[in-house]
Amino acid sequence: MNAAAEVLELLASRSATLAVAESLTGGLVAAELTAVPGASRSFRGSVTAYATELKRDVLGVDGTLLAERGAVDAGVARGMAEGVRRVLRADWGVATTGVAGPDPQDGQPVGTVFVAVAGPGGTVSEKLQLNGDRAAIRISSVDAVLTLLHQSLVTGGGTPGESAAAKGREESGGKGCLQP
């Protein structure tokens, strides 16, 4: 069973719902989830907020944070996950933001990605430093956010301050990251 099927099964077993906010993945997380038969039992929908102003205006990410830090930031990922959870009235929200390339963005190098999960117990985020081309970085980002959601569902996570990023961990490669 793939990661999307696993998280959807866990959500359905709890009668819980999920919403997705995506930037660099451009709808790939939602596509992965909706490829699973029966996804509609738990998946509410998604917002692809590629433009920075959509992160602010649609998802409610703090405009000052966006102006000071740019869109590639842990706080932005957390705000996106919380915002999509609120806007789409879901029990859980996940988000991706980062730099898939080919050029750096907001002072961040290519491969810098932040994923976040917002749930009933709070919000967690993780910073990744991924290798590979644009497609590989985007696919690895999908895998990473689904893995973080799975971990949060299994451990009852979502407690602020317990994320790998908060502990300073960065992933380079690993977790199925495709290498060129």
Residue 173 has pLDDT above 90, yes or no: no
- Integer angstrom CA distances of residue 2 from 7, 9, 45, 139: 9, 11, 20, 14
Identify the weakest region by mean pLDDT among 81-85, 123-127, 128-132, 156-160.
Answer: 156-160
**What is the rounded radius of gyration, in angstroms, for the C-alpha atoms of the chain?**
15
Q: Using one digit for the tens of pLDDT, what is the confidence trace for 20-59? A: 999 999 999 999 999 999 999 999 999 999 999 999 999 9
Residue 9 has pLDDT above 90, yes or no: yes
Structure tokens at 118: 């917002």
Quick one: CA dihedral 121, 112, 19, 177, positive or negative? negative
- Distance, in Å, from the CA atom of 14 to the CA atom of 63, rounded to the nearest integer, reads 34
Structure tokens at 175: 């977790």
The predicted structure's pLDDT at residue 166:
35
Q: Using one digit for the tens of pLDDT, what is the confidence trace for 126-150? A: 999 999 999 999 999 999 999 999 9
Q: Where are the alpha helices (DSSP H) in the chain?
A: 3-13, 28-34, 52-57, 63-69, 74-87, 134-155
For residue 142, the one-letter residue type is: V
Identify the weakest region by mean pLDDT among 95-99, 154-158, 174-178.
Answer: 174-178
The predicted structure's pLDDT at residue 159:
36
Residues 6+ apart with CB under 8 A from 162: 124
Residue 178 has pLDDT above 50, yes or no: no
Q: In percent, how much of the chain has pLDDT > 90? A: 84
The predicted structure's pLDDT at residue 154:
94
The predicted structure's pLDDT at residue 1:
77
- Distance, in Å, from the CA atom of 178 to the CA atom of 135, rounded to the nearest integer, reads 9
What mean pLDDT is reported for the chain? 89
Residue 162 has pLDDT above 80, yes or no: no
Residue ranges of domains in the chain, CATH in brackets = 3-172 (3.90.950.20)
